[in-house]
Amino acid sequence: MSKINLLIKKKYKYELLENGFSNKDISIGKKVLSSKRITMAQHTRNFENQFARKLNVKHALMVNSGSSANLLAVFAAGNPLKRNHLKKGDEVLVPVLCWSTSIWPLVQFGLKPIFVDIDIDTLNIDISQIEKKITKKTKAIMLINVLGISSDLFKIKKIAKKNKLILFEDNCESLGTKLKNKYLGSFGNYASFSFYYSHQITSGEGGMITCDNDKDYEILFSLRSHGWFGGTRFYSRKFKSYNKYAKKFPKLDPRYIFSNSGFNLRPTDIQAAIAHNQFLRLDKLKKMRNINRNLIINKIKKSKFWDNQFKFISPSKDFDPSWMGLPILINEKFKLKKNTFINYLDQTGIETRPIISGSFVNQPAVKLYKLNIKNEKFKVAQKVQDLGFLIGLHTSKISKKKLQLIHDAFYEIDKI
């Protein structure tokens, strides 16, 4: 197979990412900057409240990235203040088509990720494999909801309940998707979200973590910020523990009690104000991405050249998807031409990327940390790596010219 040889510096005609910011996003950000109150405060609090309300979850806590949200979730689930918390050496099931920082918080805590293959129709964890991988040591599942859709989370929730497993939902790629009218990111004990540039909404960098349990929220809250109930001026001091510690340690200034270990994963109020403004138009952005997706798929499938050269992921009617990019699998018969095809798209001005990072066990970091010592093979994820790629989905309507560009470039696959 030829090497992928991308012209990174070139200006693409159809980019993975468009400019995600409106003029209003930027002016709101500037206003916060001019106010000179930049650190986490009222804008963060307002955004968290609105986020929790829309997703119908009890608590939302903003952080500085999706990776930080995963880190916080894992360390909160393993915190000594949590009943039946995770312990070093516990096993956590993870789909092998995942992002790096879905896994590293597990390893950093001392947990053991156990990879599970995926389902080719959804690109998400293969539910039929989950129970086969559960052992006495399994204590959690770290799900990744891929690019705007998920597995059947109602079924997975039942499996988790039956086996007393903590459910993490890495929902960094699927903000706004509903499954049977319930938002993804409201199924797990903890769910994470990313507001990095290419995601459903963006503040450049940023993330959120949600949960329904009050005690979990208190732990997350203190871990986010130095192991402290600091910053409470913008949060009601209703935490039961806040008053409990204040009474128990009367010699300490109640504003400066450190009840836990901690990080500093706080966002700035600038990020919160921008992300909040984007969040207000999430439904519109979602609708536009859906329209563009249908236009691209129809242009390809209704072509006179259509002969199943490509496979698009088509979720069941139970989903109301909020896409992050358009994943595509080329027909198996073109497997050996894939890199030549990707290079061709690149040279034509169409930017692509792999689907997440491919099968994660192929990454050198997995070897470095000996996470797959038995050299287990994951056939379906490997297939997705060998046949899959992604193009962008933008939030303004795609032009006829760009549709034609994609159509013509895609059908070169028959000729190269």
Ligand X SMILES: Cc1ncc(COP(=O)(O)O)c(C=O)c1O
Which residue in 171, 176, 132 sits closest to 151, CA to CA? 171
Q: Cβ of residue 229: shortest distance to ligand X, in angstroms?
A: 25
Which residues here bind ligand X, judged by CB under 6 A?
65-67, 70, 99, 101-102, 144, 170, 172-173, 194, 196, 207
Angle at 378 between CA 375 and CA 382, to 5 degrees: 115
User: What is d(CA 193, CA 209) in angstroms, rounded to the nearest whole number?
Assistant: 6
Q: Which of 276, 402 has the CB closer to ligand X?
A: 276
Strand, coil or helix: 78: coil
Q: Which of 102, 309 has the CB closer to ligand X?
A: 102
Q: Cβ of residue 69: shortest distance to ligand X, in angstroms?
A: 8
Amino acid symbol at 134: I
User: What is d(CA 340, CA 333) in angstroms, rounded to the nearest whole number?
Assistant: 14
Q: Is 19 left (phi over 0), alpha (psi -120 to 50) or beta?
A: beta
Q: Which of 144, 409 has the CB closer to ligand X?
A: 144
Yes or no: say if 343 and 2 are a contact pair by the CB < 8 Å rule. Answer: yes
87: Cβ contacts below 8 Å, ≥ 6 apart: 78, 139
Q: Cβ of residue 23: shortest distance to ligand X, in angstroms?
A: 24
Angle at 168 between CA 80 and CA 389, to 5 degrees: 145
Q: Which of 188, 207 has the CB closer to ligand X?
A: 207
Q: Is 226 a catalytic residue?
A: no
Q: Cβ of residue 196: shortest distance to ligand X, in angstroms?
A: 4
Which residue in 253, 268, 301, 266 sits closest to 407, CA to CA? 301
Q: Cβ of residue 355: shortest distance to ligand X, in angstroms?
A: 11
Q: Which of 72, 160 has the CB closer to ligand X?
A: 72
Of the residues 43, 59, 199, 394, only one is catalytic, namely 199
User: What is d(CA 388, CA 355) in angstroms, rounded to the nearest whole number?
Assistant: 6
Q: Cβ of residue 185: shortest distance to ligand X, in angstroms?
A: 12
User: What is d(CA 266, CA 62) in angstroms, rounded to the nearest whole number?
Assistant: 7
- Which residue number places its CB atom closest to ligand X? 66
Q: Cβ of residue 159: shortest distance to ligand X, in angstroms?
A: 21
Q: What does the chain come to in residues? A: 416
Q: Rounded to 10 degrees, what is the CA torsion of 91, 95, 97, 99?
A: -50
Q: Which of 173, 269 has the CB closer to ligand X?
A: 173
Cite the DSSP H helix spans in 36-113. Answer: 42-55, 66-77, 100-109
Q: Which of 258, 319 has the CB closer to ligand X?
A: 319
394 forms bridges with which residues in the sheet?
A: none
Tokens of 162: 């039956």
Q: Cβ of residue 207: shortest distance to ligand X, in angstroms?
A: 5
Which residue in 352, 351, 348 sits closest to 404, CA to CA? 348
DSSP 8-state code for residue 362: G
Q: Which of 70, 79 has the CB closer to ligand X?
A: 70
Long-range pairs, 407-411, Cβ under 8 A, ≥24 = 407/299, 407/300, 407/303, 408/348, 409/344, 409/345, 409/348, 409/350, 410/300, 410/309, 410/310, 410/345, 411/303, 411/305, 411/309
Rounded to the nearest 10 degrees, the angle between the axes of helix 400-410 and helix 282-301 is 50
Yes or no: say if 184 and 323 are a contact pair by the CB < 8 Å rule. Answer: no
Active site residues: 199
